[in-house]
């Protein structure tokens, strides 16, 4: 193994990395080819070979590209992902399995494109490109002029960002109850407008030993195709008094959770939209009595395909500041006294409040450096039971990022008592470490 690792690093040392877009600024001489995706990642790694791609598409790919660019299926550049990526000549390799630091993470699925002379691209048959894209499920060929590039994080073109309601759906129709912190006085979200929203349900062994289900207990946020960010108190071993704690006769913590991704109405969930937890990471310093470090990550049993309906939100290492307009969303209850969650996703516009508004939680060890409080300026909107773990989202330059995780609050939409959220910025290193963990 050590010899193999040394060999990999020698390749890295002697390899020229040509992945920057600046090396192929579109002009009269050079331009990018469409995107190609020939290989599917496995436990050994991921690769995209220039010779193999060119042999299939000699009119699209030149023999000696000026540069090579690669992105994963979330549209994230290869230099910004959590994989060990190298370019050898014009071939891309993901070699996580050869480095102990990365070997617990399966490589992302990468698409590549090549910077070729315009003379090559000028002979491209656009009908051939369109036909290849439509008929091929493995090549994922994308025409830069006629098809969008792979989706990037934080894109929500369908989202309603004003207070306008989307429909008159009866939000109280449901068969199951929820007891954790739903959107009070919000509106129904446009279907699939927040492609990173996750509904977390639970399967548990009741007092009689019979397995039972609760459709929805908490929210979560897709931050990477294989990872969901949520609140630590959502994934504790015992969520309420009706749950039996883990014992030697009970299964692992991971087997309890059912995650629904890419849905709007929980009642119409399809099997392909249901995921299970492969690994659960609760912050090591989480304190349930005070909600300190109320953050957790769920690794999924399989990656979520990046589409218009399912894609990750962007992570930011910065902090949202007082006065910032933000949006919260979830399937929680619509009233403090309600015992049933919403069937459909709801959202509300609120504001990040100044620290003075958070003093009511001093006795609970509120920490402004790691937490924030937010509410509507007239105290009319708030998160409530069942919204815990969901995102507090903000938009900059058309891109949505997560700034907080719904944590706790006194009541729902009570004047003088804002909702409290775990800031995500201070935990950016912890998040990345866990996503790379075993």
| Catalytic residue flag (residue 380) | no
Condensed to tens digits (0 to 9), the pLDDT of residues 89-124 reads 899 999 888 877 777 788 888 999 999 988 644 444
Q: Looking at residues 269-288, what average pLDDT do you find?
A: 91
| Catalytic residue flag (residue 167) | no
Q: Which of 126-140, 323-337, 362-376 is predicted most confidently?
A: 362-376
Q: What is the CATH number of domain 187-436?
A: 2.40.10.10
Element (H, E) at 50: helix 50-56
Q: Looking at residues 140-144, what average pLDDT do you find?
A: 33
Catalytic position from the list 97, 193, 311, 388: 388
| Catalytic residue flag (residue 91) | no
For 409, residues 6+ apart whose C-beta sits below 8 A from its C-beta are 181, 382, 383, 417, 418, 419, 420
More confident residue, 149 or 196: 196
Give the per-residue pLDDT at 242.
44
Domain ranges of the chain: 2-135, 187-436
Of 162-176, 211-225, 309-323, 424-438, the one with minimum mean pLDDT is 162-176
Catalytic position from the list 233, 264, 283, 341: 233
Q: Looking at residues 315-323, what average pLDDT do you find?
A: 87
Backbone angles phi, psi at 133, to 5 degrees: -65, -40
Check: pTM over 0.75? Answer yes or no: no
Confidence band for 418, pLDDT divided at 50, 70 and 90: confident
Strand order from edge to edge, sheet including 46-48: 46-48, 91-94, 85-88
Catalytic position from the list 83, 109, 143, 294: 294
């Amino acid at each position: 193994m050590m010899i193999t690792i040394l060999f990999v690093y020698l390749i890295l040392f002697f390899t020229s990395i040509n992945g920057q877009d600046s090396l192929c600024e579109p002009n009269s001489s050079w331009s990018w080819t469409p995107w190609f995706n020939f290989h599917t990642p496995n436990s050994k790694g991921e690769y995209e070979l220039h010779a193999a791609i060119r042999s299939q598409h000699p009119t699209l790919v030149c023999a000696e590209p000026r540069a090579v660019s690669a992105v994963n299926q979330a549209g994230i550049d290869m230099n910004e992902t959590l994989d060990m990526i190298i370019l050898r000549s014009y071939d891309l390799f993901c070699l996580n399995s050869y480095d102990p630091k990365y070997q617990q993470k399966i490589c992302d699925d990468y698409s590549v494109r090549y910077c070729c002379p315009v003379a090559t691209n000028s002979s491209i048959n656009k009908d051939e490109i369109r036909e290849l894209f439509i008929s091929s499920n493995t090549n994922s060929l994308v025409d830069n002029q006629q098809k969008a590039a792979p989706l990037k994080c934080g894109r929500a073109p369908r989202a309603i960002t004003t207070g306008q309601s989307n429909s008159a759906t009866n939000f109280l129709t449901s068969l199951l109850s929820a007891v954790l912190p739903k959107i009070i006085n919000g509106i129904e979200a446009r279907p699939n407008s927040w492609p990173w929203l996750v509904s977390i349900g639970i399967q548990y062994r009741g007092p009689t030993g019979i397995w039972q289900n609760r459709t929805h207990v908490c929210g979560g946020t897709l931050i990477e195709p294989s990872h969901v960010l949520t609140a630590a108190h959502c994934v504790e071993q015992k969520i309420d008094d009706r749950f039996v704690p883990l014992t030697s006769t009970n299964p692992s913590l991971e087997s309890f959770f059912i995650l629904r991704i890419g849905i709007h109405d929980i009642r119409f969930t399809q099997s392909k939209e249901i995921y299970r937890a492969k690994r659960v990471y609760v912050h090591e310093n989480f304190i349930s009595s005070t909600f300190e470090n109320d953050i957790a990550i769920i690794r999924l049993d399989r990656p979520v395909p990046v589409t218009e309906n399912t894609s990750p939100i962007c992570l930011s290492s910065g902090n949202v500041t007082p006065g910032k307009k933000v949006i919260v969303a979830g399937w929680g209850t619509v009233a403090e006294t309600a015992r049933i969650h919403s069937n459909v996703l709801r959202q509300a516009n609120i504001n990040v409040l100044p620290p003075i508004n958070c003093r009511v939680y001093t006795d609970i060890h509120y920490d402004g450096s790691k937490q924030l409080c937010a509410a509507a300026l007239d105290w009319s909107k708030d998160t409530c039971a069942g919204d815990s773990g969901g995102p507090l989202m903000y938009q900059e330059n058309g891109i949505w990022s997560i700034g907080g995780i719904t944590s706790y609050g006194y009541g729902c939409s009570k004047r003088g008592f804002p909702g409290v959220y775990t800031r995500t910025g201070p935990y950016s290193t912890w998040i990345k470490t866990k996503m790379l963990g075993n």
